[in-house]
Amino acid sequence: MSALALWSRRYGAMIRNAWLVDLQYRAAIVLWVLWGVTEPAIALGIWWSIAGDGAVGGYDRADFARYFFGVMLVNALTIAWDSWQLDRWIREGDLNYRLARPLHPVHEALADNLAYKARSAGTIIIVWLVAASVWPAVRLPLEPGRWALVALAVILAAAMRFFISFTTGLLAFWTTRATAIMELHAGVSMFLAGRVAPLALLPPAVATVAQVLWFPYMLAFPVDLLTGAAPTGAALMRGFAGQLIWLAIWITAYRLAWHRGLRRYGAVGG
């Protein structure tokens, strides 16, 4: 059978299983989605207060509302939990039977991602549609060209975050603190990825540091594209270039970590 058919069948089966398991944990998924909603909601609440009737750093209340709804959606579409999942697989011996199968474990992780992203993003889209029906501030214009760009940026961001999370999880081959490293990353990304505020509101020095790293491409760039605050022309191209470059870097990091990690696993067992 052709390779395409084989891989479609494999991903189909894995996504289906992940989806069915998620169905069992409906309530748990709702709770996690809630988390993804409360953090931006609280930030929005504070900025709403601060903005008052004017604007802060070029953002008025409506801009903030659009921004943080954008954060909710893009985060749901791009967040990756593989760091914790891999850490558990490695520590609890669940990696062994996966390594004995003729399928690289990264595929199962990818399929899992597709399943839960679809579910949580779906929920947030519904929430957003409901909100947009009563709150004009959060409505977005429907230009097909822009939506295509948004989709591209989101996919690139999701891919990069996946490889960041997976690679960090692979650190569990060497340390028991892999999840702590991921939490450190999450803490830093609160600022540099734009979770707590649009990047324009950061002190210039911090914003510069962010631009040099991969954080803006995780979240802020796709969100700005989504809400229409995005740069155009050359700046837009730079944004996509940044996404591609960092994606390539993190894929390389993942391959290195996998190769070395497997070697170490074969030395010390698990």
Partner 1 sequence: MKRLDVQALKRSVGVVAALVRLNVAEELQYRANFVASLLGTLFWIGTALLTLALFFRHTTRLGGWDFWEVVVLLGVFNALTGVIEAVLRPGIGQLASEVKSGALDLVLARPVDAQLLVSLRQLDLWRFTDVILGLALSAYALERLHRTPTILQVAAFLVALAAAVLVVYAIWVALMSLAFWFVSVENLSVLFDAVYEGARYPVTAYPGALRFVFVYLVPIAWTTTIPASALTGRIGPAIALGAAAVGATAFFLTRLLWRTALRRYTGASG
Partner 2 sequence: MSTTPPAIAARQLSKDFQVKVRDPGLRGAFAALFRPHYRTVRAVRDVSFEIAPGEIVAFLGPNGAGKTTTLKMLAGLLYPSAGAVSVAGFDPWTGGPEFKRRIALVLGNRQQLVWDLPAQETFLLNRAIYDIPLPDFQARVGELAQLLGLEGVLDKPVRQLSLGERMKCELAAALLHRPPILFLDEPTLGLDVSAQDAIRRFLAAYRDRFGATILLTSHYMQDVTALASRVLIINRGRLLYDGALDALVARIARTKRLELVLGDGVTEQRLAAFGTVKSFRSPNAVLEVPRAEAAATSARLLAALPVVDLSIEDPPIEEVIRQAFAEAESEAEA
Q: Which residues bind partner 1 (CB under 8 A)?
A: 24-25, 27-28, 31-32, 34-35, 37-39, 41-42, 45-50, 56-57, 177, 180, 183-184, 187, 190-191, 196-197, 201-203
DSSP 101: S
| Smallest distance from partner 2 to CB 270, Å | 8
* Residue 265 contacts partner 2 per CB under 8 A: yes
Report what 27 binds from partner 1, partner 2, none; CB cut-off 5-8 Å by kind.
partner 1
Q: How far is the CB of 153 from partner 1 (least distance, A)?
A: 25
Identity of the amino acid at 36: G
Provide, rounded to whole angstroms, the least separation between the CB of residue 44 and partner 2: 35
Binding to partner 2 by residue 2, rule CB under 8 A?
no
Which pair of structure tokens corresponds to residue 264? Answer: 């170490």
* Pairwise CA distance, residues 139 & 134, whole Å: 10
Which of partner 1, partner 2, none is residue 197 near (CB under 5 to 8 Å by kind)? Answer: partner 1
- CA separation (Å) from 124 to 34, 76, 92, 121? 9, 8, 33, 5
Smallest distance, Å, CB 213 to partner 2?
30
Partner whose binding site includes residue 135, from partner 1, partner 2, none (CB under 5 to 8 Å by kind): none
Q: Is 180 in the site for partner 2 (CB under 8 A)?
A: no
x/- site string to partner 2, residues 16 to 45, per CB under 8 A?
xx--xx--xx--------------------
> Binders of partner 2 among 71-110, rule CB under 8 A?
92-94, 96-103
Picked from partner 2, partner 1, none, the partner binding residue 93 (CB below 5 to 8 A depending on kind) is partner 2
Nearest distance, CB of residue 101 and partner 2, angstroms: 6
For the chain, the C-alpha Rg in angstroms (whole number) is 20
Residue 42, binding choice from partner 2, partner 1, none, Cβ under 5 to 8 Å by partner class: partner 1
Q: What is the phi/psi pair of residue 232, to 5°?
A: -125, 170
Helices (H), ranges, the chain: 3-24, 26-51, 61-78, 82-92, 95-99, 105-134, 144-170, 178-192, 204-212, 215-218, 220-227, 234-268
Instruction: Please state, in angstroms and rounded to a whole number, the distance separating the CA atoms of residues 51 and 59.
Output: 8
Task: Give the E-state strand segments of the chain in sequence order.
Answer: 55-56, 59-60
Tokens in use for 164? Answer: 């960041």
- Enumerate residues 6+ apart whose C-beta is below 8 A from 93: 270
For residues 15 and 31, give the distance between their C-alpha atoms in angstroms, rounded to a whole number. 21
Compute the least distance from the CB of residue 9 to partner 1, in Å.
31
Q: Does residue 13 bind partner 2 (CB under 8 A)?
A: yes
Q: Which residue has the tokens 């295509």?
A: 148
Q: Which residues pair with 56 in a beta bridge?
A: 59
Amino acid letter for position 260: R
- Contacts with partner 2 by CB under 8 A lie at 1, 6, 9-10, 12-14, 16-17, 20-21, 24-25, 92-94, 96-103, 265-269
